[in-house]
Structure formats: structure tokens, C-alpha cells
Amino acid sequence: MVHHAPNPVGAEALASDLAIRVYYEDTDFSGRVYHASYLRFLERGRTEWLRARGFEQRAMARENSFVFVVRRLTVDFIKAASMDDLISVQTRLARLGAASFDFRQTVLCNDACLLGAQVNVVSLKGGRPTRLPAEVRARLLG
């Protein structure tokens, strides 16, 4: 039976890992990764997390059903990555609400934590927040 998740989501909500190589495009003249590049990495992590649960965002947009939009994010920058580093983006669902949910994401390199993020995502339909259908909630809880 599908039901509204307790808040916060328990450990049973699957996490996922995405390996990302740092390229020239991601760095800046400080010699390290540009701070906003991590936002792109985090978004790739969420995209793959969603894809693993059957959400293809291009199809969602085309079908004019609902789309997932970032409403709020907090990022703690702890340590910087550099060109050629192989980093890992870890994504897990931290909270599931009626029309929104939270991701907790971390970026690691060689077991060191580079960055922690909390990302609040809202479900929009026609530009307005919309309740997540039970079937969608079930998939998010994966």
C-alpha cells in the first residue's frame, strides 16, 4: 500500500552515486573547481536519481504533467576539487512532503567530503505547486 511517507524519509529511501570527472570547463582561474560548477554536478546527481526511479524530465515537460523545480538550496563548500579529479555525487531523499521534497547531497573525492547540500524541490503544474500523486510518491520512495 502506498501512503504518505513519514517525515523525514527513513533509511529505506535509496541513495544513489554518480561518478563525475572534473574537466577544464569546471575549473576557474583559482586553479580549482568554480563554485557554481558544483551546482551543475548536483543537478546531474538529482537527474540520475530521478531517472533511476523512472522520471525522464524531458518527457515530463513535454507531457505537460508536472515538473520538478528547485525552490531553495543551501550549499556548504568544505574542500575544493581540481582538474582531472574523479568525484562522486551522492544523492538521497531526505524528506517527502505533499507537493515538495528535499534532497540531501554530498560530493566526495577520495573519501574526503568536498561539499554538502540541501535542496528543496517543488512539484509544479502549469506554474503552480501541485500535490504529488500516490504513484509518484511511491516511485520517489523507491
Residue 56 within binding range of its own copies, rule CB under 8 A? yes
Cβ 11 to its own copies, closest distance in Å? 26
The smaller minimum CB distance to its own copies, of residues 71 and 125, is found at 71
Rounded Cα distance, 113 and 32, in Å: 15
Catalytic residue among 17, 26, 28, 84: 28
User: Applying CB under 8 A, which of residues 7, 14, 35, 65 lies at the interface with its own copies?
Assistant: 35
Question: Does the active-site annotation cover 28?
Answer: yes
User: Applying CB under 8 A, which of residues 2, 14, 69, 98 lies at the interface with its own copies?
Assistant: 69
Residue 25 within binding range of its own copies, rule CB under 8 A? yes
Near its own copies in 91-130, by CB under 8 A: none
Residue 63 within binding range of its own copies, rule CB under 8 A? no
The smaller minimum CB distance to its own copies, of residues 15 and 73, is found at 73
C-alpha torsion sign, points 33, 39, 42, 47: negative
Whether 67 contacts 87, CB under 8 Å: no
**Residues taking part in catalysis:** 28
